[in-house]
Amino acid sequence: MRTARLKPKTATTYHVMSRTLESRFILGNSEKDYLSDLMRKLEGFSSCQVRTFAFMDNHFHILLHVPEVQPVDDDEVKWRVRMLYGKEKYDQFEKQWQAWIEQGQESRIKEQLDAYRARMYDLSEFMKTFKQRFTVFYNANSKHEGPAWWGRYKSVLIEESTDALQPVAAYIDLNPVRAGKANDPKDYRWSGYGEAVANIRESRKNLCKLFVDRDISEDQVLSEYRKILYLQGEVQTNPLTGVVTKAGLSSAAVQKVVENDGKLSLCEVLRCKVRYFSDGGVIGSADFVKEVLQNHKNLFCSQQRCGGPQPMKYSDWGDLCVAKKLHKTIVSSV
């Protein structure tokens, strides 16, 4: 007999997990890309929010926030249906709706829209669509037939608090490190933290929501969350034998991140995309940048001239400054 899902009426967050059939390693790059795209479409359709996630070779983890149910009018339902299924499929829906109108069966349109509305703000419906649509995709692109997943998904109800959310999120984002897929969690592209470092703004915004008791910016969250990841992800060894009992990040790497207050080291930053080097205008000491701004006023807007030299952030750049104040994300992994 199936155990009923815990579904409080209030806004809730769940850690959901599912494994492929017989734990087969079927989730390659293209499959993970499809899961990422589908997950984002389902977010928009259902209003559920992915706080973070990790797609591995034979399983996945998602930290999913399900808000309280809100009214959704018919036009909004139609827009969400189009976002989930695409224009071609939506055009078919519209033709069917028009046929029902001509036949005097407008009530059938309402019934269909109500059915879609009932699939929103719901954990089970999110996961059902997520797993079923991937199975169709996988079977269509391989010789496999039947289910792609092993049984039901697992779910754990998480308290909506910083103390509860952050360890669970870190556990999810550290999966690639524990599995040997990445030496640094920022380098794994199919994860919430990896996407956040790669300048996916939605992922950064969702990481901010792990800090329930703090008003934290999208730029601050990267360093703060990085410290949490490294402190929780440190390798564990048997104190007597020195044998590794749990794979993870080296003690030296953890200490380095903590000492650097969660900021990327200069070496790490230089392996990323740094917009200072492409959009900064001028790079050098404060005096050098100030002199260039004064001598070439016609090449810089008044706001840049008034602002003066801008100290470079997100790593230890010494006394380096740039001429232009960048408003978009400065450092990203791609």
Task: Report yes or no on 168 lying in a domain.
Answer: yes
DSSP result, 166-211: HHHHHHHHTHHHHTTS-SSGGG-SSBHHHHHHTT-HHHHHHHHTT-
| Model pLDDT, residue 259 | 59
259 with 286, same domain: the answer is no
Count of structural domains within the chain: 3
Task: Report yes or no on 196 lying in a domain.
Answer: yes
317 with 240, same domain: the answer is no
Beta carbons within 10 angstroms of residue 104's beta carbon: 7
Q: Which of 218, 243, 263 is the last residue in one of the domains?
A: 263
Of 113, 83, 82, nearest to 97 (Cα)?
Answer: 113
Task: Report yes or no on 58 lying in a domain.
Answer: no
| Model pLDDT, residue 271 | 52
Q: Which of 232, 263, 294 is the last residue in one of the domains?
A: 263
| Model pLDDT, residue 1 | 42
Integer Rg of the chain from CA: 24
β-pair partners for 322:
283, 310
For 319, the token pair is 């006394």
100 with 175, same domain: the answer is no
Is-contact 275 334, C-beta < 8 A? no
Q: What is the mean pLDDT of each run of 10 residues along the chain (334 residues)?
A: 59 92 95 97 96 96 95 96 94 95 94 96 96 96 91 89 88 88 91 91 92 86 85 62 58 57 59 70 82 78 66 78 77 58
Task: Report yes or no on 82 lying in a domain.
Answer: yes
- Helix/strand/coil for 124: helix
DSSP 152: S
| Model pLDDT, residue 133 | 96
187 with 259, same domain: the answer is yes
Task: Report yes or no on 63 lying in a domain.
Answer: no
Rounded Cα–Cα distance for residues 252 and 319 (Å) = 27
249 with 220, same domain: the answer is yes
Is-contact 82 90, C-beta < 8 A? yes
172 with 254, same domain: the answer is yes
β-pair partners for 55:
60
For 218, phi then psi, to 5°, come to -65, -30
Task: Report yes or no on 140 lying in a domain.
Answer: no
β-pair partners for 191:
54
Task: Report yes or no on 49 lying in a domain.
Answer: no
226 with 255, same domain: the answer is yes
DSSP 69: P
280 with 258, same domain: the answer is no
Is-contact 325 281, C-beta < 8 A? no
244 with 163, same domain: the answer is yes
183 with 217, same domain: the answer is yes
Sign of torsion over alpha carbons 211, 213, 218, 222? negative
Task: Report yes or no on 250 lying in a domain.
Answer: yes
User: Taking the complete model, does pTM exceed 0.85, yes or no?
Assistant: no
163 with 258, same domain: the answer is yes
DSSP 106: H
Q: State which residues form the domain around 316.
A: 273-332
Q: Which of 89, 118, 147 is the last residue in one of the domains?
A: 118
Rounded Cα–Cα distance for residues 305 and 216 (Å) = 29
168 with 197, same domain: the answer is yes
For 178, the token pair is 């524990």
